[in-house]
Structure formats: structure tokens, C-alpha cells
């Protein structure tokens, strides 16, 4: 018989997973110019509310919220960096980086991690691509 976890314990676990994934993304961005896909990297696929789909890479051991764009439905985004400033799981904010009020953000839902489809919780990264067009 499976004993259900309290909602706060499950949300804490998801937040820890997201931070791990974001850390992976940030480290991937800094080492991506050398070799973005290596033993420490992890790929994430996203579908964004502006119609863009992309796959990015991050390093799994750091706590950053950035990742390098490897493939994208918009070719102008290739090799750019996606900076997430807010992460939600099923509508609950689990990470918020202050200082970005007024910055136009795109909401990107994770569709796959490491090539495996994501099912269950809806994980949304709200952020922007850099360099951003002016």
C-alpha cells in the first residue's frame, strides 16, 4: 500500500528537483562553448507560450536558472541563453529571482528531461532569452 506524501513534502521535493535542474542549466551555459553535452549535462525540452519550442542544456550539479539553447523552432535563438526568473510547479511558485519586474517574460513548460517526456506536474519556467533583441 502506498502512503501519500503530504502536499508540502511533495512540493519541497519538486522544488529541490527544479533547483537541481536549473543548476544543471546554468553550469551547462558556462561550459557549453567547450562541449555542451557531457557527463554532467542534462537536456530539457520546452514549449513556450509565444509558440517557440526549444531544447536547452544545463549542468545538473549547480543551482543556476540558465541554460544554453541547443535547438529551437526559431533559428535566431540557437546558442542563446534562456534565463528563468520564476519557476512554478502546478501553479505554485517554487523559485523567484527578484529584480526582473517590468521585464517581458515568456512562459515555457518543460516537455521532456533527458529525452524522456515529462508527465504529471506542470513545470513552467518564466524567463527570457539572451542576447535579447532590442
What does the pLDDT look like over 68-111, one tens digit per residue?
Answer: 999 999 999 998 999 999 999 999 999 999 999 888 999 999 99
- Whether 51 maps to a domain, the answer reads yes
* Number of domains present in the structure of the chain: 1
* Radius of gyration from C-alpha coordinates of the chain: 15
Residues 30-44 have a mean pLDDT of 62
- Whether 119 maps to a domain, the answer reads yes
Nearest one of 69, 62, 108, 68 to 85, comparing CA atoms:
108
- Whether 1 maps to a domain, the answer reads no
Please report the sign of the dihedral spanned by the C-alpha atoms of residue 69, residue 73, residue 44, residue 14.
Answer: positive
> 119: phi > 0 → left, psi -120 to 50 → alpha, else beta; which?
beta
- Whether 2 maps to a domain, the answer reads no
User: Cβ atoms within 10 A of the Cβ of 39, count?
Assistant: 7
Q: Considering the entire predicted model, what is its pTM?
A: 0.70
Boundaries of domain holding 26:
7-130
- Whether 93 maps to a domain, the answer reads yes
pLDDT for 44 beyond 70: yes
Confidence class for position 15, pLDDT limits 50, 70, 90: low
Amino acid at each position: 500500500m502506498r502512503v501519500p506524501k503530504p502536499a508540502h513534502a511533495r512540493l519541497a521535493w519538486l522544488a529541490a528537483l527544479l533547483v537541481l535542474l536549473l543548476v544543471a542549466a546554468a553550469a551547462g551555459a558556462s561550459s557549453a562553448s567547450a562541449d555542451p553535452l557531457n557527463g554532467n549535462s542534462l537536456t530539457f525540452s520546452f514549449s513556450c507560450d509565444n509558440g517557440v519550442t526549444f531544447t536547452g542544456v544545463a549542468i545538473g550539479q549547480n543551482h543556476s536558472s540558465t541554460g544554453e539553447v541547443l535547438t529551437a523552432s526559431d533559428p535566431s535563438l540557437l546558442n542563446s541563453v534562456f534565463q528563468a526568473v520564476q519557476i512554478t510547479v502546478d501553479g505554485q511558485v517554487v523559485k523567484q529571482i527578484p529584480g526582473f519586474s517590468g521585464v517581458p517574460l515568456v512562459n515555457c513548460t518543460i516537455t521532456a528531461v533527458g529525452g524522456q517526456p515529462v508527465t504529471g506536474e506542470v513545470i513552467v519556467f518564466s524567463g527570457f532569452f539572451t542576447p535579447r533583441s532590442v
